[in-house]
Amino acid sequence: MAALFVLQLVTQVVGPLPPIVGTVAVALLLAQPLLTLRLAAKLGRVAPLLLWAAAVAYCVTIVPFLVAVLSAQSAQSGQAGAGTGQAQSSTLVVLAAIGVFVVTEFVASGFLILQARRRTGSARARLVIAAIATVAFATALLSAGAGIASSEAAGPSAAVSRVVALASAFGYLVAFLPPAFLRRLWQADAAYRAGQKLLAMPPSWSAGEMWSQFAKAARDVTGSDRALVLRDVPGDPGGSVRVIAVSGLEAEFTGFDRAELDSLLAAAGRGFERLGDQGPIRADLHRLTDARFLEAVELHAD
C-alpha cells in the first residue's frame, strides 16, 4: 500500500515498530513544516492567519492519512483486503498530505531566508543553512510522492528521497547544533571582520559615527538582530543616560534615568533575559522592536 512508504522508511532506520508508534511517528513527521513555520514566527513576524491556515491544512490532511495508514497496516497483516478503488483513494490521501507538507515547508523556508537577511555573522549563516535543509526535506518528500504517483519512478525516486533527506538532516544538525569548531570559526571570522572595520575608521569621523560603527561591529560579532549603545549624558547632574548609537533599528529614543540603566547592568554577564515592560528601556525596546530577549554588556572606560 502506498500509505506505508513513510513507515517503511522509519522502520529501515530504527527497526520494526509497534503500529501505534509508527502512526505517531508519521503524524510528527508530517507536522514538521508546521513546527518550522512556528519557529520562523518566533524569530520574526509571521501573520497569525498563515499559521492558522497551515494548522488547518495539516489537520485536514493528517486525519484521513492516518486512517489510510491504519487501513494499510490492517490489510498488510491479513486482517482485511484492499481493492483497487481503496488503493487509489489511499494514494490520493497520501499525495494530498505530501502536497500540504511541501507547500508549508517552502513557505517556512522563505520566512527563514527573510530572517537571515536581517541578521549578520553566524546567525545569518545558520538560518540560511536551516532554510536550505527545509527545502531539501520538502524535495525528499516530493520525490517520494512522485514514486507513489508512478510505479515506474518508484525505484529512482526512493533513492533520491533518501539521499536528499539525509542531506537535509545534516543541514539541520549544522544549523541548530553546529560543532564547536564551526562555531569558533564563525565567531573568529565575524570578530576579524568587525575588527578590520573598526581599524579602518577614518580619523575625520565624529564620535557619533564611531559609536555607530562600534554598535554594528558588536551586532556582527554576537549575531544579534540589533545593538544599542547607551552612556551618561555629560554634565547632567541628574545622572540621565541616552542612546548614542543604534544598529539594525531605526527609532528615536528619549533619555532614561541612570537607575534604569543600573537595573540593566545588574543582569550583565548572566546571559539573555526576556524583554518585557519592566522599566522604560525594556518597555521601549519591547514596543519598538519584535525582539524577545535582551543581553546587557557593560563597557569600562579603562
Q: Tell me the one-letter amino acid at 212.
A: S
* Cβ pair 191, 221 in contact under 8 A: yes
Give me the mean pLDDT over the 45-63 stretch. 91
d(CA 66, CA 93): 9
Cα distance between the two ends of the chain: 72
**β-pair type (241-247, 227-232):** antiparallel
CA distances from 301 to 57, 60, 230, 270 (A): 57, 61, 13, 21
Instruction: Identify the pLDDT of residue 2.
Output: 33
d(CA 156, CA 88): 21
What residues are paired with 229 via a beta bridge?
245
* pLDDT tens-digit readout, 93-144: 777 888 899 999 999 999 999 988 877 777 888 999 999 999 998 888 887 7
* Cβ pair 76, 5 in contact under 8 A: no
* pLDDT tens-digit readout, 212-245: 898 888 887 777 778 888 888 776 666 788 888 8
Instruction: Identify the pLDDT of residue 4.
Output: 42
Confidence band of 19 (pLDDT split at 50, 70, 90): low
Q: Is the pTM of this model over 0.75?
A: no
What phi-psi label fits residue 298: left (phi over 0), alpha (psi between -120 and 50 degrees) or beta?
Answer: beta
d(CA 59, CA 53): 10
* pLDDT tens-digit readout, 153-199: 566 777 777 888 888 889 999 998 888 888 888 878 878 888 888 88
d(CA 176, CA 35): 14
Domain range annotation of the chain: 2-178, 182-294
What are the backbone angles phi and psi of residue 179, rounded to the nearest 5°?
-60, 155
Handedness of CA 55, 57, 58, 64 (dihedral sign): positive
* Cβ pair 34, 60 in contact under 8 A: no
Our CA angle for 280, 231, 245, nearest 5°, is 85
Tallying the residues shown for the chain, one arrives at: 302
